Copies of this chain bind each other. A is one copy, B any other.
Amino acid sequence: MEITKFSIPEIIFGRGALKYAGLCAKRLGAEKPMVVSDPGLREAGWVSTLFDVLAREGLEWCYFEDVVSNPRDTQVAHGALFYAEHKADVIIALGGGSPMDAAKGIAVVVGNGGTIHDYEGANRVHRPLPPMVFLPSTAGSGSDISQFAIITDTHRHLKMTIVSRTLVPNISIIDPNVLATKPRHLILAAAVDALAHAVESYVSVIASPFTELQSLKAIEIIGRQLPLAARDPSPEVLEALSIASTAAGMAFSNASLGADHALAHSLGGMFDVLHGEVHPVLLPSVMRYNLEATLPKMAQIGRVLTGKDLRNDRKAALAGIDRLETLFASLGMKHRLRDLVPEPSQLPDLCRMAANDACLLTNPRPATWADLLGICEEAW
């Protein structure tokens, strides 16, 4: 085994855990934290619940919600100015992947200067960030666990991947109750994103025993819980999905991802597609592309998804892909690429962009832009 690294935040997990946000921020030195969230969470009442928690700890705060789905470089710049103007000292993010990634981008610029574009790629963030406490409102992005932030470059119309150990928040407070006010389709999209994290990190060329364990556990839980979530996202289901998303976050943060996420980032950058909607369209085709390069692991995924101890590796692997396609079809989500991309003539540009994405480096089978085009044509 190569030398491997494994880094995760301190985790506080459980229904009601939100109440620890103030204590955690204070432990990290907060006197005036900056809260980053979005209008949806404010309207659902969670932002004011968080304010109450902070007030009980005697904290003041400043509040920032200029964040959209697929958060933008311009919003990061705005947020960094806001942090400085308000003399904030800790960043608390409450939300899905978008507010959390925006908060990370703001932290990078606050701690390191310049603009977020200066830090695109791996390990380019060298100076410390303000302390971060993250409260995820979806069970999917894993941003509260990971060393990744994805920010849209509004000039180049692409998603920049910023990866650095310092982007791991100090504390992740995962309260499955916060998920309960999310619309059903967002819960499902997030769970499918977590499933893609788990599958891609499991077959990544830099997977380790520490990440593989988490990947498989997440695949097992999400495979079982997705149909239940589609029918009735009960507190128990939301808790299970949160456990799975956290496990998948531990895995992909340390083992990275693959071709599905490389393409997903390009799709999000070019067409502003909801990130979680991309995987039912792409993941099965990517898995078929990777099949021979990592057959024993693909077979293990198949065994976990079907719950069957299939002896033949190829049959087990194919049964897993079948099971996923059936599952995705049952969720009522889009499942052809033509539902997301306006014109087939745009596919070559999409694939050329994806071929430069950092996630492609760890795909178990190398892929040129033409290989990616083949995947997209199959998924069309």
Contact = CB atoms under 8 A, between A and B. Distances in A.
Nearest to A216: B213
A343 B14 CA distance: 48
Contacts of A209: 217, 243, 247
A208 interface: yes
B10 A4 contact: no
Contacts of A5: 10-13
Contacts of A15: 1, 3
14 contacts: A2-B14, A3-B12, A3-B15, A3-B17, A4-B13, A4-B14, A5-B12, A5-B13, A6-B10, A8-B8, A10-B165, A209-B247, A213-B213, A213-B217
Contact of A7 (B11, B16, B213): B11
Contacts of A10: 5-7, 165
Identical copies of this chain, number: 2
Given A6-B13, A11-B210, 11 more contacts: A1-B14, A1-B239, A3-B14, A3-B15, A5-B10, A5-B11, A6-B10, A6-B11, A13-B208, A13-B210, A213-B247
A210 B17 CA distance: 16
Contacts of A208: 13
A358 to B, nearest CB: 21
A285 interface: no
Nearest to A214: B213
A269 to B, nearest CB: 31
Nearest to A217: B213
A91 B2 CA distance: 26
A13 B15 CA distance: 33
Nearest to A27: B165
A246 interface: yes
A209 B174 CA distance: 14
Contacts of A17: 3
Contacts of A7: 10-11
Interface in A201-219: 208-210, 213-214, 217
Of listed A10, A210, A213, A247, residue having the most chain B CB within 10 A: A210
A16 B208 CA distance: 16
A327 to B, nearest CB: 22
A253 to B, nearest CB: 12
Nearest to A12: B5
B3 A13 contact: yes
Nearest to A254: B11
A73 B23 CA distance: 32
Contacts of A4: 12-14
